[in-house]
Structure 1
Amino acid sequence: MLFNGHVLTMEPAGAVQQAIAIRAGRILAVGSDAQIRRHVGSASQTIDLQGRTALPGLIDAHAHMEREGLKTLRPSLAHARSVGDVLNVVAQQAAIQPKGSWIITMPVGQPPFYFGGPDNLAEKRMPTREELDAVAPRHPVYIPGLFGNWGVPPGYSVLNSLALAANGMDQASCPDCTGIEVMRDEQGRATGQIIEHNKRPLLEFALLTRVPAFGFEDRLEGLRRSLPIYHAYGTTSIYEGHGSAPETIAVYRRLWEEGQLSMRTRLCVSPTWSNVKEAGEAMRDWLAFARGRGLGDPWLRISGVYIGLGGHAATATAVRKALPNTGWTGFVEWSNSIGDFEAYAWLAAEHDLRVHSVVVDRLAEVLEVFERINQSFPLHARRWVVEHVGRVSGPDIERLKRLGISVTSIPFYLLWKNGRDRLGEPDQGHAFVPQRSLLEAGLPVSAGSDNIPVSLFSAVWASVVRRERTTGQVIGPGQRLDRLQALQMVTRNGAYLSFEEHLKGTLAPGKLADIAVLSANPLSVADDGLADIHSELTLVDGRIVHRA
């Protein structure tokens, strides 16, 4: 029994309650302290919430959860304020790592965004090849640039002489490495400095192919470390519609088999096919388990496929050659024209595979494809998903409703982090990530963290204030959400994505006992306090998975 609290049930007409009774992983009752005490027996455990706010465990609709723990496997440079600080980290690693082993750090800058790169250092530059050689003469050293989704390209990388030699950098060229600058001296010799302008990094897949990739055991340990970090912000379920590569799915499966997957996980397949023929054969012969609502249990379920639109051809080709390595993404890169997209989507419909796709500003094109498919394969009950929605017109909202398409938004990423480009739009950004219009039209819009940062309260904050980071200006003032609307997106609407609205997303008798007890009341805390909320107690299946 949790009692003496401020319980937000998130039921559509649910009043604020005081207490929750849990039995065998399910909610037995929700009500006043007096009502719930009737269920307490001599063997019951009681927890005094001391007035804290409790609400359903949060559901991250676009989590990329496995990435977070991976970041802890490499030495951090977050504290570095000078080239000397960076060199000290490399020297420390050289002293403890076996001779000849690689030293690979995290990027220069402050996580989770790594904005500015070398501008964070007093010298306003990265270490040189020679400086790295001096502190680690017997180890190949690689300081990578940022993964473009974290911050804003370019990314600044540097290698020492052994690392350059291992990758053949003094001789090799890379004609397909669009967006990559390999800095060379007057004699044409690589200096060790590399600048990448691509949002999806190509460097390690096409040029630095000898840099050790994350292996299966690395990813498994990374996922283990990710779980408590996400639970610490009240997240109890994730839905990964951006797709998961075969090795990523295998990592989740291993943790599930070991009984250590404390996060309710819903994945879709990030395919490795390269053309329509391969796709048809894969869907026919290998993806029967992912048809319809998929196969799985309350902890791990796999349903549907991710079909990308757009993308970079060189990156897609290089990643397929490097499989199972997918770098930081965890999914397989794509490069699809709208024609390719439609061909794959038709095949998915024929094989009852749910389609997921990141659309940003190309929603209208995608909906045209879906409308044609809908004439032969009615989509409404299938709940296909459009993700990372950007610009959405009024007519598009009506089309989404008519087709029964599920919508996920990434408000912190699109509004705060990348909203500057939308400031000059004539409608003041009213049609950009129009969460209020979508919700008021009756669409169950959900929200995700995209792992930047991991807390869904950043998404809640961005949905309420809609401020972009460089000017503080509000994008689409009329689209700001009230607190309950923003919380709805990360609770009950997230359950709709996985056809589980009858199981989770609200606190009601019979539903799963997934609960977050918060550090502050999200309905009354100041606007800028929303992003700082964390969970002081997180329960999944009625069991404590995090306690501050």
Structure 2
Amino acid sequence: MPRTLVLHNARIHTFHDAYPRAHAIAIVDGRVAAYDNAALTTATSNDQAQVIDLQGACVIPGINDAHAHMEREGLKTLRPSLAHARTVEDVLQVIREQARITPPGVYIVTMPVGTPPYFFGGAAQLAESRLPTRQELDAAAPEHPVYIPAPFGNWGKPPGTAALNSLALQRNGLTPASQPTCAGIEIGKDASGGLSGIIVERNTRPAVEFDLLPDIPRFGFAERLKGLRISQKMYHAKGTTSIYEGHGSAPETISIYRKLWEEGDLTMRTGLVVSPTWGNLPEAARAMRDWLAAARGRGLGDPSFRISGIHIAYGGDPLVACCARANLPDTGWSGFVEQAVTPSDFKALCLLAAEHDLRVNVIVSDKLHEILPVLLAVDKKFPLAGKRWVLQHIARARVEDLQALKALGVLITTIPTYFLWKGGAAYLDEADGGDSVVAHATMLELGLDLALATDNIPYDPFFTLWVAGARQERVTGQVIGSHQTLSADAALRAFTIAGARLTFDEHWKGPLAPGFAGDLAVLDRDPMTLSVNAWRDIQCTMTVVGGRIVHGTDST
């Protein structure tokens, strides 16, 4: 008997133009089979069907997070939290408790000080406005090296502050004469010129562990796999059924996804992009020619797991990239390999990628006007039509450049939380009021393929949905680009069905259409009927992937 799930007494937004609204839906063997009365007939004709009365809840297609960094979230749960700490003594109490249960000589590594998910303020959250001193940490854990890391810069805003005790400083070979290789790192000194145990990190993606702290424990394969299992459940709990990792995944990151997939436990439909480890053009040319055949074109995989294309950075710090490669397979919190690519090398790498049918993913930020000429040059030699190259993190952009992207046929992902809410201070004084920054309405008017993403800041898609509708900077509340706000319908389409094109899956995944994947989210409220400010408070009560409940009633 086919596996059947029937949901009824619901407000269903199918995003299938031929049947946009329904009150019941039947999913048979993982695919949408029927709506409304036909769905109910399916339920009564199959006594093995699982039938659930949703009591008026809202149903939408599953969220497809187009720049998810899903592997990170679960890792945060593997280290002791300091989120509750409001005094230095609160921090020290956690260290003492960890010292009690940790064998002598083994590191105590916590999460950063601050309130998740951003850790804004860091040590300023504590009454003393500082982290514990080296001597205070020594007293709390005299037989253990202790490390309180700075926040990962992409979560919040640099600078961040880390703290180490004397044993940790010693085991990492740090002395008052030590100097960082990478810029943006400051080793703290006390009044006598000795090490204070404080290290200040001003880089968005911290380099201090790669640069100065070789002895600090890294996340190993087993921990990353455990973290991914946790992450997957957390993302499902927000209604996410598919992810795309356009920033690229390092070899070890790909390995943990593959392990979960091989064990049959990967319930998140996953599209990965290769984050390459090469350090120069000759290495890149050999890798593209000899080792990346599986990532060419549409890539290889199945409906659950696919690898396609590569990420090529535009810019970056060469010293940070060098330090990061030297620490592989560890990638810290990022999950990808740091790159530093000059404009001339970027063009050369894009031409090489096009020659080998490797579609490029690139983070654009405010540099679209610099990257576009490269794409046009590549297109003249290797036409990009149908190749689905992906431009990500688009911030400030000219209309004529967006029009050119439409002509090239590239895909676009945006992260409104990053540029409008968290980093919106940089765009408060734009001459056009910010209408050229993350210009969602303009992109859609031009017919560009646009998919929304969370970037794991935070991983809740309904917070991102709210930012796309409200466009408010986090400190001032000022609206950036009032003409670029998205309606609930437009934002949800960009956050659900649009992302299928990133993995060449739009013929079977996205809308809740007959024959399409039975991937959906059940919400406690209908976004279409709410004010914009209420979008961020929406909760997902059930998530279904391929007709299987992965969050909510009867999930395991």
Q: TM-score, normalised by structure 1?
A: 0.98
Q: How far off its partner does 1:249 sit?
A: 0.2
Comparing 520-529 with 446-455, which one deviates more in the overlay?
Answer: 520-529
2:39 equivalent to 1:36: yes
Aligned length: 546
Partner of 2:320: 315
Q: How far off its partner does 1:49 sit?
A: 1.0
The residue type paired with residue 40 of structure 2 is R
Q: How far off its partner does 1:527 sit?
A: 2.0
Q: How far off its partner does 1:444 sit?
A: 1.8
Q: How far off its partner does 1:13 sit?
A: 5.6
Q: How far off its partner does 1:440 sit?
A: 1.3
| CA–CA distance in structure 2, aligned partners of residues 162 and 118 of structure 1 | 22
| CA–CA distance in structure 2, aligned partners of residues 25 and 231 of structure 1 | 17
Residue number among 399, 409, 412 corresponding to 2:417 in the alignment: 412
Q: Is the 8 A contact 1:10 1:491 kept in 2?
A: no
Partner of 2:157: 152
2:456 equivalent to 1:451: yes
Q: How far off its partner does 1:14 sit?
A: 4.0
Give CA-to-partner distance per residue, 1:257-310, whole Å, 9 cap, x none. 111111000001000001110001001100000000000011110000000011
Question: Is the partner of 1:380 in helix, strand or coil?
Answer: coil
Residue number among 26, 31, 53 corresponding to 1:48 in the alignment: 53
Q: How far off its partner does 1:173 sit?
A: 2.0
Residue number among 359, 380, 383 corresponding to 1:378 in the alignment: 383
The residue type paired with residue 32 of structure 2 is I
Q: Is the 8 A contact 1:10 1:56 kept in 2?
A: yes
| CA–CA distance in structure 2, aligned partners of residues 308 and 442 of structure 1 | 26
| CA–CA distance in structure 2, aligned partners of residues 308 and 14 of structure 1 | 42
The residue type paired with residue 89 of structure 2 is G
Give CA-to-partner distance per residue, 1:502-545, whole Å, 9 cap, x none. 11110000001111101211111232221121210111110010
Q: How far off its partner does 1:11 sit?
A: 2.1
The residue type paired with residue 368 of structure 1 is P
The residue type paired with residue 220 of structure 1 is L
The residue type paired with residue 36 of structure 1 is A
Partner of 2:113: 108
The residue type paired with residue 121 of structure 1 is L
Question: Is the partner of 2:333 in helix, strand or coil?
Answer: coil
1:233-244 to 2 correspondences below 5 Å: 233-244=238-249
Partner of 1:229: 234
| CA–CA distance in structure 1, aligned partners of residues 388 and 167 of structure 2 | 52
Q: How far off its partner does 1:172 sit?
A: 5.2
1:68-147 to 2 correspondences below 5 Å: 68-147=73-152
| CA–CA distance in structure 1, aligned partners of residues 177 and 334 of structure 2 | 26
Q: How far off its partner does 1:35 sit?
A: 3.1
Residue number among 260, 276, 289 corresponding to 2:265 in the alignment: 260
Partner of 1:269: 274
| CA–CA distance in structure 1, aligned partners of residues 66 and 348 of structure 2 | 26
Q: Is the 8 A contact 1:457 1:533 kept in 2?
A: yes
Residue number among 350, 356, 360 corresponding to 2:355 in the alignment: 350
| CA–CA distance in structure 2, aligned partners of residues 378 and 410 of structure 1 | 28
The residue type paired with residue 336 of structure 1 is V
What percent of counterpart residues are identical? 54
Residue number among 200, 216, 221 corresponding to 2:221 in the alignment: 216
The residue type paired with residue 21 of structure 1 is A
Partner of 1:283: 288
Q: Is the 8 A contact 1:174 1:206 kept in 2?
A: no
Unaligned runs of 5+ in 2: 1-5
1:297-316 to 2 correspondences below 5 Å: 297-316=302-321
Question: Is the partner of 2:477 in helix, strand or coil?
Answer: coil
Give CA-to-partner distance per residue, 1:467-507, whole Å, 9 cap, x none. 01010010000000111000011111111111111111100
Partner of 2:3: none
| CA–CA distance in structure 2, aligned partners of residues 14 and 414 of structure 1 | 36
Question: Is the partner of 1:283 in helix, strand or coil?
Answer: helix
The residue type paired with residue 113 of structure 1 is Y
Partner of 1:517: 522
Q: RMSD in angstroms over aligned alpha carbons?
A: 1.0
Question: Is the partner of 2:527 in helix, strand or coil?
Answer: coil
| CA–CA distance in structure 1, aligned partners of residues 489 and 333 of structure 2 | 34
Q: Is the 8 A contact 1:418 1:468 kept in 2?
A: yes
2:13 equivalent to 1:8: yes
The residue type paired with residue 303 of structure 1 is S
Q: How far off its partner does 1:421 sit?
A: 1.1
The residue type paired with residue 64 of structure 2 is I
| CA–CA distance in structure 2, aligned partners of residues 212 and 187 of structure 1 | 30
Give CA-to-partner distance per residue, 1:179-215, whole Å, 9 cap, x none. 1111112443111011111111110000111111111
2:530 equivalent to 1:531: no
| CA–CA distance in structure 2, aligned partners of residues 429 and 365 of structure 1 | 20
Partner of 2:467: 462
Give CA-to-partner distance per residue, 1:130-152, whole Å, 9 cap, x none. 11111100000000011100000
The residue type paired with residue 175 of structure 2 is D
Unaligned runs of 5+ in 1: none
Q: Is the 8 A contact 2:180 2:212 kept in 1?
A: no
The residue type paired with residue 39 of structure 2 is I
